[in-house]
Amino acid sequence: MVLVMRSGVSEKELQETIEQLEKWGHKVSVSRGEKQVIIGVIGDKSDLLGKPLTALPGVIKVLEVSAPYKRASREFHPEDTIIEVDGVKIGGGHKVVIAGPCSVDKLENVVYLAKVAKKHGAKMLRGGAYKPRTSPYSFQGHGEEGLKMLYEAKKETGLPIVTELMSIPDIDVVYKYADVIQIGARNMQNFPLLREVGKLDKPVILKNGIASTVKEHLMAAEYIMSEGNDKVILCLRGTRTYETAVRNTLDVTLVPIMQKMTHLPIIVDPSHAAGRREFVSPLAYAGMAVGADGLIIEIHNCPKKALSDGEQALLPRDFAYLMDKIKKLPAWNQKEWYQFDQQKDTDCIEPDFYNSF
């Protein structure tokens, strides 16, 4: 349930309404947009039926939020969320490309790739220090030494660090170095981990699960947000389907669908979707063309020597070409596009309209 407050509502009115809701035994969350303030009521609200909610100070409307992901829902937070990381903004029209190696290998490679990423327009550096691998015998990452390499690359370039957190025991060390914490597909429904990340004050990139639905993805985000961390970025990296031509099937249709459902930024991971270098750039271009808030891409200067996923890493020249093409994409105004969705079925075009051509 959300209480929509009057435009220009005073802080005194807002606090009086919050205090009354809390007296009735409810937790609340306040969302402040440019023009509107909304109070979200969390938990079971059956006892509020019959209560004079519209008579509370500043309240002009009471709405039921049908989505089970209350905090992540656009009904609860109509305005796009904009997340800022070291001066880099993502969401609400701010587009960001995150690039770097799948796994951190050597310091000189990481620093070089960070410079390549920055030169061609990437705003953040990605790199895996802890790697979830299907085989227990595959390279699992350099751990803290890998994080130190990423930090050196950040000192050279100023790019914020995005790296994956795999387990609760690693939280402290990852928190120390990372600017953005990534939760991978295999951990999307690791609920104890999501809750712990929700207690942190750093942005989180949450990838969809290997075969998850949109609702499950948003509910996973809700776990993080329910603990107080609203800085969640949703990442689409494809899902496992019956198709074997690619590593995962990336459905870019989900970008505009999810943008209607949630206020959180949505980025696309074409590298893990494609699994093969030649398909990464077309998928990246498609994701941005359909309105994604950004990309997270794997690049490497010598893919055949990469410690993991070299077959899907773009060479620096490929990355430069892709970034040049993306920069030429026309601006996509999601709000402007969705205004047509507000038309009712009765808003028909009369035949005379066509005679004007």
Give which of 92, 89, 96, 72 is closest to 288, Cα–Cα: 96
Strand partners, 292: none
Residue type, 249: T
Percentage with pLDDT > 70 across the chain: 89
Q: Is the pLDDT of residue 142 over 90?
A: no
pLDDT at 58: 93
pLDDT at 122: 98
Q: Judge: domain 2-63, CATH 3.40.640.10.
A: no
What average pLDDT does range 132-143 have in this prediction? Answer: 62
Q: Give 334 or 164, the one with higher predicted confidence.
A: 164
Q: How far apart are the first and last CA of the chain?
A: 48
Task: Indicate the average pLDDT of the chain.
Answer: 90
pLDDT at 338: 60
Give which of 225, 112, 130 is closest to 184, Cα–Cα: 130
Q: Is the pLDDT of residue 345 over 80?
A: no
Strand partners, 84: 89
Q: Give 95 or 70, the one with higher predicted confidence.
A: 95
Angle at CA 155, nearest 5°, toward 150 and 160? 60
Task: Of 182-196, 265-279, 306-320, 321-335, give the lowest mean pLDDT range.
Answer: 321-335
Q: Name the architecture of domain 83-330.
A: Alpha-Beta Barrel (3.20)
Domain with CATH 3.30.70.1140 in the chain: 2-63
353 pLDDT tier (thresholds 50, 70, 90) = low
What average pLDDT does range 217-243 have in this prediction? Answer: 96
Q: Is the pLDDT of residue 166 over 60?
A: yes
Q: Is the pLDDT of residue 333 over 70?
A: no
pLDDT per position as a tens digit, 247-290? 999 999 999 999 999 999 999 999 999 999 999 999 999 999 99
Domain with CATH 3.20.20.70 in the chain: 83-330
pLDDT at 140: 55
What average pLDDT does range 159-181 have in this prediction? Answer: 96
33 pLDDT tier (thresholds 50, 70, 90) = confident
Give, for 321, the enclosing helix (H) or strand (E). Answer: helix 316-327
Give, for 294, the enclosing helix (H) or strand (E). Answer: strand 294-298
- Total-model pTM: 0.84
198 pLDDT tier (thresholds 50, 70, 90) = very high
Give which of 202, 145, 142 is closest to 171, Cα–Cα: 202
> For residue 231, how many other CB atoms are within 10 A of its CB?
23
Residue type, 175: Y
Q: What are phi and psi of 235, to 5 degrees?
A: -125, 125
